[in-house]
Structure 1
Amino acid sequence: MVLPESSLHTEIKVRSRARSLFALSFVVILTGIGAGLGGMLLAMLLHGIQHLAYGYGQDSLTSHESFLIGVSSASPSRRILALTLCGLVAGLGWWAIYRFGRPLVGIKKAVSPDGPAMPVKTTLCHALLQIITVALGSPLGREVAPREVGALVAAWLSRKAQLAPDTHRLLIACGAGAGLAAVYNVPLGGAMFVLEGLVGVFSWPAAIMALATSAIGAAVAWVGLGAQVQYVVPSLALTPGLLAWALIAGPFFGLAAHGFVQLTGRARINAARGWRLPVLSLINFTLVGCVAVYLPQVLGNGKGPAQLGFDNELSLGLAAALLLAKVLVTSSSLRAGAEGGLLTPALAIGALMAILLGGLWSLAWPGIELGAFAIVGAAAFLAASMSMPITAIVLVAEFTRIDHDFLVPIILAVVGSVCMSRLCEVVGGVKR
């Protein structure tokens, strides 16, 4: 029996769509697996270097022994030596990348229409340098590296499958989100980062792909890292005083976050290049090591200070000292030419600032634990500094596994924070 020409064309189209859908599904699954493996291996490398540099927990690369305990137990001379080495690695490493590598392409630029491709070798070296320096004590974040590796995996798979340009760019964003989900065990946060931070619009195909890749990435990373919670938070009471504080304090976090973004943005624009990069990097990180003699909590991406804040283990004086030190060493490291993320540093800065504001609030309305202030403030500062309120709320919820009711003060503070930050941008004529 011979089919009519119109029916034959319809059948060909159906089969072609089925093959395309199958190829896309296969690429999505492989992207999640590849990003998960990449994030897991980078995290294991981070742990291994930390343990070797500071002499703790060397029995296992997947050990979850606290980095803060490790650096606090290390001798002052070892802290300075580790940070001096960090300065040498950072300075010479990024000098070599800028001198001999191809121009770096950020993920946001890669997912934009007509965006250039990310150079594979240069991007991999860039990611590895971030992990190595953060492991040695750099105060910047480690989240950019797994995002870059996930994006590279997705881009390679998409090109092999010859997917359409729009789908190719979406997969790069999904690979980045899956890398974030893998290294922090935040499957929903990784998906929200894709939709809110990289794609910028919501559609069901994008949501399904982002959720699938992030969930697969997180699950794959469990093999080597376990299904660990990033921050262990004690049971905290939700009180009317905390709700009132969240309403009032939210705009203050937005104002502070706007200033932090301006400070770090200028530091990156004016970052050292050429021969100045290795020189300033060595000086900067050696000075950071000297600061760590008295404040070991300042080393690393900021997870230690944030955890101390959530645990109610910081006095107001120590919180103030750490807040000032964290802002200074983060901006100075960017100015010296080092690279890294600002997610965890912003989380720590928000928590430390919240402890100070909460301490003042407790004079008028006592009975609220400082850890409760810290969680709410961390979310508010993170939301405004990243300009991604929903992603910040989801990330803090997954980071801490807080009670559902705690979302109310978090959302109130985030709304006030983001509104104030946007107002500052309008007044200052700043676009992000």
Structure 2
Amino acid sequence: MSSEPRPIPQPGASERAPADSGDRGERGTKGTGVATPQARLRRLALLCFYTLIVGVGTGLGAAALVKTMQMVELVVYGRHEGMTAHLTAGTSASQRFWGITIAGLLAGGAYYLLQKKGKPIRSVTEGMQGKPMPVLSTLINAFLQMITVAAGASVGRENAPRELGAMMSSQLSHRLELDSETRRILVAAAAGAGLGAIYHIPLAGAIFAVEILLGSITIRTMMTVLACSAVATVTSGIVVGNDPLYATIPLSEGWGNLGAALIVGALCGVLGVIFRSVISRAESNKTQGPHMLWTIPAAFIVVGLISIELPTVLGNGRLAATEVLIGRPTLAFAAALLVAKGIAVFLTLRSGAVGGVLTPGFAMGALAGYCIGVFVQPFMPGLPASDFALLGCASFLSTSMAAPLFAVIVTIEFTGQTSSAYLALFLAAATASLVGRAASETMKIPLNVTMPWNRP
């Protein structure tokens, strides 16, 4: 056996700068593998330029999607969300039923043809991993989502601009042959920017990119996601506007709300875990192939039948959440709408249709929090019912999205809350996360699940 010593690698022979620095492959003048200040400055300037391009493109895409949605809503309901938050008010049962039924028949054929004839659609996480997201298939898929949501499909509309922005960034990264770390950050930033642009929630969009997609925070990632989300939101603002999505009363930081946060956080946290698990199963077992020709129409017909008695079950969840954020319905109505919304979301996603779960989850959290408040309010008479609904939103999203910081920020931006709401929302989200983690362990629910942004 030979005992010759192995050669010692020479400095600069194979070393590269750390991946997080963004300086891979940029060598200094002495061949040490360390980027020069000029090279780092050049890479930073290019990253800023790419971020600007992706942000503007994502914002314009979001604006086009919103315009499409509004045109479809005008056809189906005679009005659109830009005119009123109560989209189904004054509509007839037959109008609601036939609107979503016809949309389901058309969507079934469209999704089937897209799957059969188009290139495979890549998820956001696949785009981050380096798989090119096809242009035409992603565009068709995004606009199909908006059309079906506008007609009443019970899923969120945020998935469409999220995938559209990610596709633009994915294509840019591949055409310019960007390094893997830069591509990963840009795709995540664009996906978050799409979310921020469609609802005018720029900070929530940036936090989504960091907390859910990237899972880490560095100066480079924060600079990119914040700038991209801000640019996209400003760009889309010409169509989306800048008003909060939901109108409600401000949440105070009194002792009563802090106590309510503990109760609502614990209960809604468990419900959020269950919802996340159910949605994961729907996404993992989503109908494929020719079966979509009947499963999607069937699911839409069921939702249409539910809408005859519960009109606000339709759409992305804004109608349902508004019922309890500014109104005071009976416990029976709120509970029925909560169950109906959950069934509608599951059936829609399981049938093969595509959409998001943010606003449906927000609505279910509001409804669950309101129902809890009806029972608790006699012991806390000073708290309005809408306080329990708001706490339910942050608590439910904390576990359904597995992102407590995002849950708090999106609740604040969705409803235009002031700093007086922060303490109660923080406590509710933290309680929900703690109880939700314990519930996941007890019920043996896996932490890594399939969601709309990472579906295979």
Common fold, TM-score beyond 0.5? Answer: yes
Contact 2:108 2:297 in 1 (8 A): yes
Distance 1:293 1:78 in 2: 9
Separation (CA, whole Å) in 2 of partners of 1:100 and 1:160 = 24
Are 1:87 and 1:278, in contact at CA under 8 Å, matched by a contact in 2?
Answer: no
Amino acid at match of 1:159: H
- Aligned match for 1:22, one of 40, 45, 48: 45
1:126 aligns with 2:141: yes
CA 7–142 in structure 1, closer or farther in 2 if over 3 Å, else same: closer
1:65 counterpart residue number: 83
Tell me: CA distance 1:316–1:7, structure 2 relative to 1, closer, same or farther (3 Å). Answer: closer
Secondary structure of the residue aligned to 1:430 is coil
CA deviations over 1:89-111 (Å, ceiling 9, x no partner):
22112211222222222112321
2:19 aligns with none
Distance 1:162 1:359, change over 3 A: same
Identity %: 33
Q: Residue deviations 1:89-144, cap 9 Å, x none?
A: 221122112222222221123213xx422222222221111111001100100101
Describe how 1:133-172 pairs up with structure 2 within 5 A.
133-172=148-187
Matched residues in 2 for 1:345 and 1:358: separation?
20
How far apart are residue 242 of structure 1 and its match? 2.1
Q: CA deviation at 1:391?
A: 0.9
Query: Which stretches in structure 1 are left out of the alignment for 5+ residues?
Result: 1-5, 58-62
Measure, in 1, the Cα distance between the counterparts of 2:401 and 2:164: 21
Match of 1:411 among 426, 429, 440: 426
State the alpha-carbon separation in 1 of the partners of residues 384 and 308 from structure 2: 29
Contact 1:239 1:368 in 2 (8 A): no
The alignment status of 1:40 with 2:63, answered yes or no, reads yes
Cα-to-partner distance string for 1:158-190 (whole Å, 9 max, x where unaligned): 334432221011101111111111111111111
* Aligned-residue offset at 1:41: 1.1
Alignment of 1:163-242 (within 5 A): 163-242=178-257
Q: Please report how far the alpha carbon of residue 410 of structure 1 lies from its aligned counterpart in structure 2 after TM superposition.
A: 1.1
RMSD: 2.1
Q: 94, 97, 100: which one pairs with 1:77?
A: 94
How far apart in 1 are the matches of 2:88 and 2:354? 22
| Bigger shift: residues 159-168 or 320-329 | 159-168
* Alignment of 1:93 onto 2:116: no
Q: Deviations over 1:235-277 (max 9, x none)?
A: 4554322211211231211211111122222222222223321
After TM superposition, which residue ranges in structure 1, 4 or more long, deviate above 6 angstroms? 6-10
3-state SS of 1:367 partner: coil
CA 343–18 in structure 1, closer or farther in 2 if over 3 Å, else same: same
Alignment pair present for 1:331 and 2:349 = no
Does the 8 Å CA contact 2:264/2:391 hold for their aligned counterparts? no
Q: Map 1:282-297 to 2 at 5 A.
A: 282-297=297-312
| TM-score, normalised relative to structure 2 | 0.87
Contact 1:312 1:369 in 2 (8 A): no
- Residue 274 in structure 1 maps to residue 289 in structure 2: yes
- SS of match in other structure, 1:169: helix
Measure, in 1, the Cα distance between the counterparts of 2:87 and 2:413: 25
Q: How many residues align?
A: 419
CA deviation profile, 1:262-293 (whole Å, cap 9, x unmatched): 22222222222233212121122112112111
Deviating more after overlay: 308-317 vs 382-391: 308-317
Q: Which has the higher helix share?
A: 1
Asked if the contact 2:207–2:406 (Cα under 8 Å) also holds between the matched residues in 1, the reply is yes
Q: How far has the Cα of 1:412 moved from its partner? A: 1.1
Q: Quick one: distance in 2 between partners of 1:416 and 1:20?
A: 42
Residues 1:31 and 2:93 are matched in the alignment: no
Residue in 2 that maps onto 1:382: 397
| Paired residue type of 1:84 | T
The more displaced of 153-162 and 366-375 is: 153-162
- The answer to whether the 8 A contact 1:354-1:378 is kept is yes
Q: Is the 8 A contact 1:23 1:161 kept in 2?
A: no
Flag the 1:100–1:234 CA change in 2: closer, same or farther, 3 A. Answer: same
